[in-house]
Structure 1
């Protein structure tokens, strides 16, 4: 199957806001990113679980060392979207940062399933599974955060971590918070942006290659179809408003692994066995890209 890019550079990413713990499955679905971009930003709830921030610390991360497999010498940065502690730091994550062609919130809280399984928990779980797979292939794997800091980092710092590592590939792991009936995954590619500190022109081509390979492998491993509400069912979307992409100087993509607010997608996202398949699919796409 041939996957084609559909450009949508005018779209914006609103804050994903998690419902307070204990919200029922009948809660109003979080709007899609395109819908929410037309509404004022929401502030994170102060009633978020205290256990998330209690487990966070500011001790430095220890980058994993590469092995002797086929990816020996390759550096992969995995960016688990959001942070479980963001709820406790609304003033920090709501501050504006410059993303080259505009400003964005430093970070957002992320979404959740209607039963309360958070995107921040999901992204860390998938990212850790990916790390195991990629290290077995010999890659050196670094995280932007591993549940080891109280909040964030900001989208600007997330980009800088990949740049400073001279990463061969960076993948930011997310899950969407759209309406019931909106199903499937999509990979977000960087648009060509040349403004302020942002210049994605050198990475547009390789990032597209990385994204297309992840789309194909994700379908193969998870048997989940491409999004029926973003990207014209190609599994690809191109955006110019995401700081994590705009400020990257190395090949980078985002993946929205599914819609947490759709009951069928949520059934997959909350399954440990499916998350393992998701990690395998994303990792296989990275391996294909790095061994091209």
Structure 2
């Protein structure tokens, strides 16, 4: 062996480089691991999480079948009133009970989508009642952060517009929540006007607000509560709007905005 052949040959680099495919897979794995480390397993919070809302759709579609039930007198503290009533309707027969049920269902979905727990005082539009005393009780037992009773009025055809009804102090269970109910009422009034474009009532209250002491649903409430009369079903222009599903959705969205404002302020 000569000197040249006996010299130590340089070592070769025996490392095999990753193929492009392997490198790509490795990069994806690294990204996935990082995402797993950063991911919050909890569902993103919704704005009305933890809030309870009770929606009271006025009247019921089967009330007219049971006058002996709904005409029974109940004590609303300031007087005795009928357990419930049939409500009004448009001139062509679209009932207030059907209107309030549709709007209330739409409103419930909107609020649930925002995280609220929602309870309704009735489960359909073919039953009877419940009595106005029971409607208040449902909100009280739920410990509602806000309660709203959805209605539409049946006044003279020349009258138009919506109004929100709030409780007065009567020396009863509603007294501690009269102030909060007023705050709720103003929030809903403002959102309803903006969202629907309907005017304030031309015949009841002032600037879309009214206060009453004869409504059992308010007098017996221990939680912040209001009534909303969405308009006059005997007014031809408003009746035509109420007939349209798209407008009922607009009403529900406006009510949801008002409740949202109150519940998050």
- State the alpha-carbon separation in 2 of the partners of residues 126 and 86 from structure 1: 19
Deviation string 1:40-83 (CA, Å, 9 cap, x unpaired) is: xxxxxxxxxxxxxxxxxxxxxxxxxxx94111110000000000
Say if 2:188 is the partner of 1:211: no
After TM superposition, give the deviation of residue 149 of structure 1 in Å: 6.6
Equivalent pairs counted in the alignment come to: 222
Displacement after TM superposition at 1:150 (Å): 2.6
Map 1:224-239 → 2, pairs under 5 A:
224-232=198-206, 234-239=207-212
| 2:173 alignment partner, one of 181, 199, 209 | 199
Please list the CA deviations of residues 191-214 of structure 1 after superposition, one character each: whole Å capped at 9, or x if unmatched.
Answer: 1111xxx32210110000000000
CA offsets, 1:163-192, max 9 Å, x none? 000000000000000011100000000011
1:253 aligns with 2:226: yes
Alpha-carbon distance in structure 1 between the residues aligned to 2:89 and 2:125? 21
Deviations 1:191-241 (A, max 9, x none): 1111xxx32210110000000000100011101111000113x10000000
d(CA) in 1 for partners of 2:258, 2:77: 29
1:263 aligns with 2:263: no
> What is the deviation of 1:268?
1.1
2:47 pairs, out of 25, 45, 70, with 70
- Separation (CA, whole Å) in 1 of partners of 2:61 and 2:125: 10
The answer to whether the Cα contact below 8 Å between 1:80 and 1:146 also exists between their aligned partners in 2 is: no
CA distance in 2, matches of 1:213, 1:163: 21
Q: Alpha carbon RMSD of aligned pairs, Å? A: 1.1
Distance in 2 between residues matched to 1:84 and 1:148, nearest whole Å: 5
Q: Is the 8 A contact 1:189 1:211 kept in 2?
A: yes
Q: Distance in 2 between matches of 1:169 and 1:149?
A: 26
Q: 1:108 to 1:212 in 2, by over 3 A?
A: same
Partners in 2 of 1:269 and 1:185 — Cα distance? 12
More helix by share: 2
1:11-41 deviation digits (Å, cap 9, x = unpaired):
xxxxxxxxxxxxxxxxxxxxxxxxxxxxxxx
TM-score, normalized by length of structure 2?
Answer: 0.82
Matched, 1:177 2:154: yes
Distance 2:126 2:260 in 1: 29
Alpha carbons 1:76, 1:169 under 8 Å: kept? yes
Q: Provide the rounded CA distance (Å) in 2 between the counterparts of 1:96 and 1:276.
A: 35
CA-CA distance at 1:148 after TM superposition: 6.6
Q: Say yes or no: does 1:105 pair with 2:65.
A: no
Out of 195, 213, 228, which is 1:240 matched to?
Answer: 213
User: How far apart, CA to CA, are the structure 1 residues paired with 2:220 and 2:87?
Assistant: 21
**Residue 145 of structure 1 pairs with residue 118 of structure 2:** no
**Aligned residues of 1:185 and 1:225 also touching (Cα < 8 A):** yes
2:249 pairs with 1:272: no
* Runs of 4 or more consecutive aligned structure 1 residues displaced over 3 Å after TM superposition: none
> What TM-score do the two structures reach when normalised by structure 1?
0.75
User: Using the alignment, how far apart are the partners of 1:68 and 1:244 within structure 2?
Assistant: 32
